Amino acid sequence: MTVAPDQQSTRSDPDHWRSVAAGLEGRPAEDILAWAAETFGGDLVATVSFEDAALPYLVATHAPAATVAFLDTQYHFAETWWLVEATRRRLGGPLRLEILRPGPGVLPDDRWVADPEGCCAVRKVEPLGRALAGRAAWITGIRRIDGPTRAAAPVVEWDDRWGVVKINPLVAWSDADLEGYQTAHDLPRHPLASRGYPSIGCWPCTRPVADGEDRRAGRWAGLDKTECGLHLGAAGTDAGTDSAAVAVAVEVR
């Protein structure tokens, strides 16, 4: 199935993409990414969190023309950076990433204590906007099991906030699916995954999850906050005047 994304009559039509999503529902992630590559070519950007290596590996092998973007918040666990390097080794060559950082005026500080929404805005939301600027489609790693805000996520949708087609190839995956894929392809695991961290973000705002807790209970624990703002339908918190993102194209060796 091929859709011409340059036709304005369908590109931003939510009903059109709902129909496309229905046709792709239940298909393997490999098929969804192959469709994305055929449909959008190099006009794709995939954002990866390196919570695991599955999406980076899938994109590299099934949509190699896509730009792979990683949002460096300045607060990633050391173990997350280890997984970046381990994934590169597994791929057997340089992993080209576009690493997006906050602007030079945004330094590591404790803004996350008093203003977690503002912290996410300058460290994640604004850089994502730069990554998506001028792109036709966005590949994400969200899954329905992540929580109520993602439980109804489709395989493909029009994201009016960012003005792109949003593609969620892993959306139907369970934890067993993820584990099975990692095992089948001999992918490295995030070291924190076996220490009670089913969802991994920035170290100040991520804690282990206790038995019986929701898988995202360790994110912003104790706060009325469950999302960083990347996947919200409406515009998020104003990032402020000092939040211009810096995009750095690097080759991780």
Q: What is the DSSP letter of 252?
A: E
Q: DSSP secondary structure string, 106-134? A: --S-SHHHH-HHHHHIIIIIHHHHHHHTT
Per the structure block, which two tokens stand in for 17? 């993409």
Backbone Cα Rg of the chain: 17
Distance separating alpha carbons of residues 199 and 141, to the nearest angstrom? 12
Active-site amino acid positions: 228
**Cβ-count burial of 217 within 10 angstroms (0-12 exposed, 13-18 middle, 19+ buried)?**
middle
